[in-house]
Structure 1
Amino acid sequence: MQPFTALLAATLVFAPATQALADATPTHVRKTNGCGCCLAWMEHLEENRFAPTGENMFAGLLVRFKVDNGVPQRMVSCHTAEIEGYIVEGHVPAADIRRLLEERPVAVGLAVPEMPLGSPGMDQGHRTEAYDVFLIRNDGTTEIFAAYLGE
């Protein structure tokens, strides 16, 4: 195979993967070390065109980060992400994050408080709990952004 032909073949093979990576939305996730559900949520993001990077933090520093960035105590979950200027707290589905990024409301971001079974990263077989995704306003108030039914 000629060098140019080999280069062209390699470009055709790797270009789609490179483009997909370039199209992925950078996402910085702060979490505690060894949290399996955080890693599972990050995998959910990867499957949905996000590019998550994880940063392990001690629990006290993670709580301080949440408070300093406008997450009300009643909205807290196990991990916190920064995505295009928004805070995403907990097991928020990727589709809701995409909607947030498209609509661009004036807000802190989204939250799924606690760790409901069946939310992304909390998949436990067929059992799911009903849960809401909340929009956190800049004044700390919240409203339902999306609702998911349990089974």
Structure 2
Amino acid sequence: MKMVLAVTLGIAGAATAAYVATDRETPSPVIASAAAQGAEPVTIWRSPGCGCCDAYAEYLRAEGFAVNVIDDRDFDQRSIEMGVPERGIGCHLAMIDGYVVSGLVPSEIIERLLDERPDITGITLPGMPGNAPGMAPAKTGTLRTYAFGPEGVAVYSDE
């Protein structure tokens, strides 16, 4: 198992240190508690070597999230098992405060999800839109994000 120490700045510039697992399926230990630092912890499962997923993780860190990235060759199967509709799978899978987040969802939509706390399983931005965080230097244009859960699939945001 290969581990890499990553130190990032969280909310209010507080340093957050975490070991980032590169070839295991469970989150690795966080040295400085993300909750104590005020950063929302995020676990991302991604296809090994995916550059846009690395860029997205850095984007979330810059937005104040404490991110742990896990390489998972079967993240698409994990996505389905966690409730993401097959046609809604994004380029990686994340778990944020009990919600499943699939794809390159902008931070303001994740923050809205965490503020509103709807009774859904999660949200997804399917595919790899070229104007999404992780694919472009900054989000441009409209990105349609979907909510999914026991009640089905519906548009969550058209931002």
**Are the counterparts in 2 of residues 25 and 51 from structure 1 also a CA contact under 8 Å?**
yes
User: Identity, % of aligned pairs?
Assistant: 33
Which residue is equivalent to 2:145?
A: 133
Which whole-Å CA distance do the structure 2 matches of 1:83 and 1:125 have between them?
Answer: 22
**Are the counterparts in 2 of residues 77 and 115 from structure 1 also a CA contact under 8 Å?**
yes
State the secondary structure of the residue aligned to 2:66.
strand
State the secondary structure of the residue aligned to 1:117.
coil
1:18 Cα offset (Å): 4.5
Letter matched to residue 25 of structure 1: E
Alignment match of 2:158 (pick from 144, 147, 150): 147
State the secondary structure of the residue aligned to 2:108.
helix
Structure 1, unaligned runs of 5 or more: 1-14
1:114-142 Cα offsets, whole Å, 9 max, x none, are: 0111111110689x564301111224x22
Which whole-Å CA distance do the structure 2 matches of 1:93 and 1:135 have between them?
Answer: 14
Q: Which is higher, the Rg of structure 1 or of structure 2? A: 1
Which whole-Å CA distance do the structure 2 matches of 1:108 and 1:125 have between them?
Answer: 27
Letter matched to residue 24 of structure 1: A
Alignment match of 2:119 (pick from 93, 106, 116): 106
**Are the counterparts in 1 of residues 132 and 138 from structure 2 also a CA contact under 8 Å?**
no
- Greater fraction helix: 1
- Greater fraction strand: 2
Aligned length: 129
Tell me if 1:24 matches 2:21: no
Which residue is equivalent to 1:86?
A: 99
- Give the TM-score normalised by the residue count of structure 1: 0.77
Letter matched to residue 154 of structure 2: E
State the secondary structure of the residue aligned to 2:135.
coil
Structure 2, unaligned runs of 5 or more: 1-11, 17-33
1:24-43 Cα offsets, whole Å, 9 max, x none, are: 10000000111010011111
